[in-house]
Structure 1
């Protein structure tokens, strides 16, 4: 892939293998769509992650406006996807989220962008909604890692 979107969760991964995986798939930018870019998993908080990505030649952007609110995580984890999707689409209707989506669309048309959150299963994560929106507007392919 020379342009497009990569969907990736870091659940169960270590930092070195994660960065290597992104490099092997020609990711230019990692878009962190967690509400808070912190993690108990070593290396996946904002500063360490962005430093590791920069050392591998990748850009890091934290798109807080595309983070899933804490009170909307349970529907995704418990299989109440319609409920979670409906609430997250309200988030996407806000002006700052629209700007972030536009930014991802522009990037995905010119480079490979990884959309990252914690959840390994993209179908149980809000990033799937983001990716659907970006891919439909940018007309690019999506790869799930």
Structure 2
């Protein structure tokens, strides 16, 4: 799976740089794992992003079930300590919900057709819920 599902954060990138990185990784599908796919950055909100990606031959899918609620984001800014542990534990609990498990299955389906990039804002994956989604995907693949 390592080659089939990757993570990417658009922090510090504009739409051109993001598309360039996706192309370099031969991404077939972008799965947006932002709970609310809106951005102050031009071209990076859901509709504009989807349209641009499609024009580049890259599919787009938004899976809000893999998003992190606003009230749980602060703890991801830390790598250790109580806040970091609590935020990650809460997100792991959210990942156990049937809707999140179905979204994980959908990502695995999409990965069968080509490389999937999980998209969120945070550049540093270790400070983003995206890391836990990738871990859940890898765990699922190992248990199959």
TM beyond 0.5: yes
In 1, the alpha carbon distance for the partners of 2:118 and 2:45 equals 15
How far, CA to CA, are the matches of 1:136 and 1:82 in structure 2?
20
- Contact 1:108/1:138 (<8 A) preserved: no
For this pair of structures, how many residues does the alignment match?
Answer: 139
Deviates more, 1:71-80 or 1:126-135: 71-80
Paired position in structure 1 for 2:88: 85
Q: How much does 1:85 deviate?
A: 1.0
When the two structures are superposed, what TM-score results if normalisation uses the length of structure 1?
0.89
Aligned counterpart, 1:44: 44
Match of 1:126 in 2: 129
Structure 2 counterpart of 1:138: 141
TM-score, with length taken from structure 2: 0.90
Q: Which of 102, 106, 109 is matched with 1:106 structurally?
A: 109
- The equivalent of 1:74 in structure 2 is 74
Q: What SS class does the counterpart of residue 73 from structure 2 fall into? A: helix
Q: Which runs of 5+ in 2 are unaligned?
A: none
Give the superposition deviation at 1:114.
Answer: 0.1
* 1:10 maps onto 2:26 in alignment: no
Q: Do the aligned partners of 1:7 and 1:116 also contact (CA within 8 Å) in 2? A: yes
CA distance 1:2–1:33, change in 2 (3 Å):
closer
Pick the aligned partner of 1:116 from 116, 119, 140.
Answer: 119
Query: Counterpart in 1 of 2:20?
Result: 20
Give the aligned CA root-mean-square deviation in angstroms: 1.7
- For 2:112 and 2:133, how far apart are their aligned partners in 1? 15
Number of the residue aligned with 1:142: none
Structure 1 unmatched runs, 5+: 140-145
Query: How much does 1:3 deviate?
Result: 4.9
